[in-house]
Amino acid sequence: MSKNRQITIVDIAEAAGVSIATVSNVLNRRKVPMSEGTIRKVEKIAEELGYRRNVMAANLSRRKSFELGLMIPNYDAYYGRFAEEMERTAHRFGYHMSVFSAGGYDPDMEKRHLEVLLQRRVDGLFCHGLAMTPETTRQIVGDGTPLVLFNAWDWPQDIAIHAVNLNFADGCVQAVHHLVEQGCEALIYLSSIRSKATNEQRLKGFRQGLAELHKASVASGIVDLGGKPMAELVKQTQEISGGKGPIGILAFDDLTALRFMSAVQEQGYRVPEQYKIFGINNDPVSSACYPPISTLDIPYSQQAQYAITLMLRQLGEEPDTDKGVPTLPDSTEHELRIPLTMLPRLSTSS
């Protein structure tokens, strides 16, 4: 380490073996649960490394901007609806929410967003696991900016104290069980590899659901969307089923389920007699089409309220439950998992 380089809280976190958020909480005397041993350790290492707090920056940081940042991968489907819920919830507590889209994983756009967020000195940042890389996000929280992750299942725990994640894996287990209960002799997941961790959670649930089956005779497989024509995917599902039916389809999301169902019907197959189709996200199209598509409902409001509550606590505020914010679990660990509700419809049952 260069002697001329200014020591940051990232350096202290690495030396102390704790998270950046923990160091920030100790040095800024935030009222969050921490052991006396952790506090003394961080303070001792900060002193040993010669950490000098920038008083001017500290004074600026204490002047709240009442602006929060939200990073999402794009504005499609779930992301757009969640952003709306976050904006509404933040507004109830006197905060403005600035929403930034990653623009389809564009590194240049990510860099511009980083610069803007640092210039604005947002009071706190919410980040989806696919919206920014851990390395880029670490630069933002390196100066003490509180961070709450959402749908970031495998991120390093040293970057943020909390992650509010939807339990897609458990929801997909429920979906698999439902399809089997409806008589499916073949089960196939329509995968979206480009969606990375989000897809991995669905795949995890699909595989777990298969592992829990008591019927060894069920054919199963995974078909990646990969930009292929839906007619080709229908052909692949027929090959995997080996003539068994009905075929149960768990699609990556409702739009995929709708497109696949249309292709199935165009080729003369009947839904739900020959194909039983299950989507995810409860997009409006899932109930507007015929037959309406079985899906997993997303508790947008609950996820937004939990995320805002955790952020306000990091900012030294205790949310007023009279404003409709749900009480958090007594022992909130790093990952707070929110269950999904299954909505069975005519696409899986006659």
Give one DSSP letter per residue of 162-225, joined into a string.
EEEEE-HHHHHHHHHHHHHHTT-SEEEEEE-GGGHHHHHHHHHHHHHHHHT-S-TT-EEEEEE-
| Residue 157 pLDDT level (bands cut at 50, 70, 90) | confident
User: Is the pLDDT reported for residue 203 higher than 70?
Assistant: yes
Residue carrying structure tokens 């998992």: 337
| Residue 46 pLDDT level (bands cut at 50, 70, 90) | confident
Q: Look up residue 238 and give its two tokens.
A: 């027929």
Query: Is residue 1 domain-resident?
Result: no
User: Is the pLDDT reported for residue 122 higher than 50?
Assistant: yes
Query: Is residue 350 domain-resident?
Result: no
Query: Is residue 292 domain-resident?
Result: yes
**Alpha-carbon gap, residue 95 to 83, rounded angstroms:** 14
**Alpha-carbon gap, residue 179 to 177, rounded angstroms:** 6
* Predicted local confidence at residue 326, as pLDDT: 61
* Predicted local confidence at residue 2, as pLDDT: 47
Same domain, 222 and 134: no
Mean pLDDT, residues 87-104 taken together: 87
Query: Is residue 86 domain-resident?
Result: yes
| Sign of the dihedral defined by the CA atoms of residues 195, 306, 303, 187, in that order | positive
* Predicted local confidence at residue 60, as pLDDT: 46
Q: Give residue 282's identity as a one-letter amino acid code.
A: N
Same domain, 311 and 278: no
Closest CA to 259 of 308, 225, 282: 225
| Residue 26 pLDDT level (bands cut at 50, 70, 90) | confident
**Alpha-carbon gap, residue 247 to 61, rounded angstroms:** 57
- Using CB atoms within 10 Å of the CB of residue 201, give its burial: 0 to 12 exposed, 13 to 18 middle, 19+ buried: buried
**Alpha-carbon gap, residue 171 to 145, rounded angstroms:** 33
Mean pLDDT, residues 160-180 taken together: 93
| Residue 93 pLDDT level (bands cut at 50, 70, 90) | confident
Look up the domain containing 20 and give its range.
9-57
95: Cα within 13 Å, side-chain hemisphere: 27
User: Is the pLDDT reported for residue 29 higher than 70?
Assistant: no
Same domain, 143 and 253: no
- Tens digits of residue pLDDT in 218-259: 999 999 999 899 999 999 999 999 999 899 999 999 999 999
How many structural domains does the chain have? 3
Same domain, 21 and 87: no
Mean pLDDT, residues 2-27 taken together: 77
* Predicted local confidence at residue 264, as pLDDT: 97
CATH at residue 314: 3.40.50.2300
Mean pLDDT, residues 27-45 taken together: 78
User: Is the pLDDT reported for residue 116 higher than 80?
Assistant: no
Same domain, 160 and 176: no
User: How far is the CA of 348 from the CAs of 88, 192, 313, 343, in angstroms?
Assistant: 35, 22, 43, 10
Could you report how far apart the first and last alpha carbons of the chain are, in Å?
68
**Alpha-carbon gap, residue 219 to 240, rounded angstroms:** 7
